[in-house]
Structure 1
Amino acid sequence: MAKKYAVVAITRNGIRLALKLGERLEDSEVYSYAKYGDGLEQVEGKHYLFNGPVKELLPSLFRRYEGVILMFSLGAAVRLIAPLLVGKATDPAVIVIDERGEHVISMLSGHLGGANRLTLRIAELLGSRPVITTASDGQGGFAVDLLGREFGWRADSFAPVKAVSAALVNGEPLAFLQESGERNWLPAGARLPGHVRCCSEMEELSQFPITAAILVTDRLLAAEEEAVLPEHTVVYRPRSLVVGLGCNRGTSAEELEVVVKETLADLGLSLLSVRKAATAELKGDEAGLLSLCAKYGWELELFAAERLNTVTMDRPSEVVFRATGAYGVCEPAALLSSGAAGLLQRKRKSGNVTIAVSRIPFENIGGEGDG
């Protein structure tokens, strides 16, 4: 779909307001009931007219747009969208706005669908009052299920999210420990509730009573660490690791994948935390490498030989230089891509593959800079 949001209006006042919002809200298209369009014409990609009942229009909008904005009463909206609901993971954001534009209501998919954020954005554009009823947003805090979403953080399992969210909104003692990843995860204007205790190391989690915990780390936890965690613990994996890779021509994706997995396992690091693969520019067409990056959604960062040679190496290789023009590939590529001062894993060779691993030194993360 070309646009993200559909704005639907069925009254004259609603249509006027919808057109106003359509002009101000980027990536939006307006759908007006033709009977009250008063001579308005369709404009491709901007404004459409419909003649049939709105209930016949909504199913297609639900499938095509990330957000559906309805310019009529909340009661009517409830009745119209009820048959269309599937689940919070797939339903679009639904916003309801009264035709006078006084209130913008986050109706459906407030968190996962982004309706709460969209509500605040629309209210600002129209000078309206936003209405958000989800508990974590109402308390001015953060949502456990959306933590780090804009940075690509992924949870090991979403099974404990519901219980941890309940602990957060009900004021139960909750521990928060971040070892890696972006620091600016707290939404703008939000605050950390008083019952959330920030810890600097794992040992702190056993020093006070807690009913739930949130961990942000790229490390795989040892058995003794897992033993001190409460039953309701969410472990988020920030995208904080870079794998520097070198390989012989024609190396398969399967061989590359095995080397990456084995190396990370030996280091006690999560595959979910890999952000990028980095290598020499001449490997940019390597089918196995491209396939591996596509499988896991990794960015592939390429460096010219001249750039790789700007990194001082303890063990420069004449063999690699004759083949690539660089005295090393996996180590300098990992360092350049991550911006780290050192490596978590120096050059390691396995079959047709060489690998090095580094950690991105995000701002204000203590101890990250040493890579």
Structure 2
Amino acid sequence: MTLVLAEGKQFSLQPTGSYAVVAITKHGVELARNLHSTFPQTDLFYMTKFERGDETERNITLFEGNVRMLLPSLFQSYKGIVMIISLGAVVRMIAPLLKDKKTDPAVVVIDDKGNHVISVLSGHLGGANELTKELADHLNATPVITTASDVQKTIPVDLFGRKFGWVWDSAEKLTPVSASVVNEEPVAIVQESGERNWWNYNKPLPSHLTVYETMEEAIHAKPKAALLVTHRLLSNEEQQLLHNGVLYRPKVIALGIGCNRGTSLDEIEQVIQKTLEELKFSIKSVKAICSIDLKKDEEGLVALAKKYQWDFTYYTPEQLNSVNIETPSDTVFKYTGAYAVSEPAARLYSGADSLVITKKKSGNVTLSVALISH
């Protein structure tokens, strides 16, 4: 395919990979073609004057005109853009397209000889720093990363726990808390739940980062900033730590669910929301819903999992019956072949010895709540 670039014209692209590789020079095209053939998930774009004749066969897109006019379409279509173009030119070209770090794609620049790979835009949230390291390893080049937390090998506040699926309650304090971390101000870390192996460096935790056992201890220490990891809703007193703090929600809640056939998404959702509010648990910490395999096509459950992007795991009656439960039901067994659904499903998924809620019946829904321990 050949694109004729024109001012103000948007192109409908159909990506086959996650990353676009763009080149505009003879040596850059050679490097880009090698990268395209060996680095996964890349789509290649270069100028028609460097056409080799095998572009259609290799699914390479050619273009005529100023590459700057191609960039709006690439920004909308790809997770990351790798540009084998001078850094200054790239900065000028992408400047009008920038929105914010939560939505801008990763942009990485490689020099014409492949000596340096430079993280330019969306280093953390967009993944440019990680992509830079991968490309540099692939090309045996030098990675250039200027993000302070990476250079100092400390906690990247905006990525803390991301590999485990942790999410922030709010992004409001990411920037000032990041500043406290990299400027070596006293920072409190309190973790009540979630994965514990988040420190990935071959050195001790920096002395200005202190792990406290409880929120109360952290409040008493009066840190400049705080990183809080919990599935709980904070009390009014604990919320003072969020004056300059970030609250992370680890994925630690498993919901075992049984329901009558045809139970609506709204009814199931309302039971879950009310139950979690009563427990003072955050719905953002839910990892999965679990049930019996008879319910794998239950529309309300399928829609719920899709809406919240939760895992939806189901078990056979034999698997459910292998779990010791508190209140087996002959009636449930008669209709499902299992003596219970929500309780053993939650136990199987979470591996928990005891449940937060063993079984709660509300209308057409039966709910069990478990915490996944790490």
Q: Shared topology, TM-score over 0.5?
A: yes
Summarize the Cα distance change of 1:246–1:169 in structure 2 as closer, same or farther, 3 Å threshold.
same
Maintained 8 Å contact 1:142/1:190: no
3-state SS of 2:237 partner: helix
1:252-331 matched pairs, under 5 angstroms: 252-331=264-343
Gaps of 5+ in 2: 1-14
State the percentage of identical aligned residues: 49
Q: Are 1:165 and 2:173 an aligned pair?
A: no
* Alpha-carbon shift at residue 209 of structure 1 (Å): 3.2
Q: Are 1:78 and 2:98 an aligned pair?
A: no
Summarize the Cα distance change of 1:230–1:113 in structure 2 as closer, same or farther, 3 Å threshold.
closer
3-state SS of 2:27 partner: helix
Paired residue for 1:355? 367
- Cα deviation code 1:88-136 (max 9, x no counterpart): 2221111111101111110111111110110011011011111111111
3-state SS of 1:319 partner: helix
3-state SS of 2:37 partner: helix
Q: Are 1:20 and 2:34 an aligned pair?
A: yes
**What is the count of residue pairs matched by the alignment?**
360
* Alpha-carbon shift at residue 275 of structure 1 (Å): 0.6
* Alpha-carbon shift at residue 44 of structure 1 (Å): 5.2
1:1-371 matched pairs, under 5 angstroms: 1-37=15-51, 39-43=52-56, 46-187=59-200, 192-227=205-240, 229=241, 231-362=243-374
* Alpha-carbon shift at residue 67 of structure 1 (Å): 0.8
- Cα deviation code 1:266-308 (max 9, x no counterpart): 2221111001000111112222222222221111111111110
Maintained 8 Å contact 1:140/1:191: no
Matches of 2:201 and 2:28 in 1, distance apart?
Answer: 31
* Alpha-carbon shift at residue 188 of structure 1 (Å): 6.1
Paired residue for 1:368? none
Task: Give the aligned CA root-mean-square deviation in angstroms.
Answer: 1.7
* Alpha-carbon shift at residue 323 of structure 1 (Å): 1.6
3-state SS of 1:289 partner: helix
Matches of 2:335 and 2:235 in 1, distance apart?
Answer: 41
Gaps of 5+ in 1: 363-371
Maintained 8 Å contact 1:8/1:31: yes
Q: Which amino acid aligns with 1:47?
A: I
* Alpha-carbon shift at residue 190 of structure 1 (Å): 8.1
Summarize the Cα distance change of 1:235–1:299 in structure 2 as closer, same or farther, 3 Å threshold.
same
- Cα deviation code 1:166-196 (max 9, x no counterpart): 1111111001111111223345668633211
Matches of 1:2 and 1:295 in 2, distance apart?
Answer: 26
Range moving further from structure 2, 323-332 or 181-190: 181-190
Matches of 1:258 and 1:190 in 2, distance apart?
Answer: 46
* Alpha-carbon shift at residue 40 of structure 1 (Å): 4.5
Range moving further from structure 2, 218-227 or 308-317: 218-227
* Alpha-carbon shift at residue 221 of structure 1 (Å): 1.8
Maintained 8 Å contact 2:219/2:238: no
Matches of 1:306 and 1:189 in 2, distance apart?
Answer: 45
Q: Which amino acid aligns with 2:239?
A: E
3-state SS of 1:308 partner: helix
Matches of 1:9 and 1:323 in 2, distance apart?
Answer: 63
* Alpha-carbon shift at residue 62 of structure 1 (Å): 1.5
* Alpha-carbon shift at residue 139 of structure 1 (Å): 1.0
3-state SS of 1:340 partner: coil
State TM-score, norm by structure 2: 0.92
Structure 1 runs of 4+ aligned residues shifted over 4 Å read 187-191
Matches of 1:205 and 1:122 in 2, distance apart?
Answer: 41
* Alpha-carbon shift at residue 237 of structure 1 (Å): 0.5
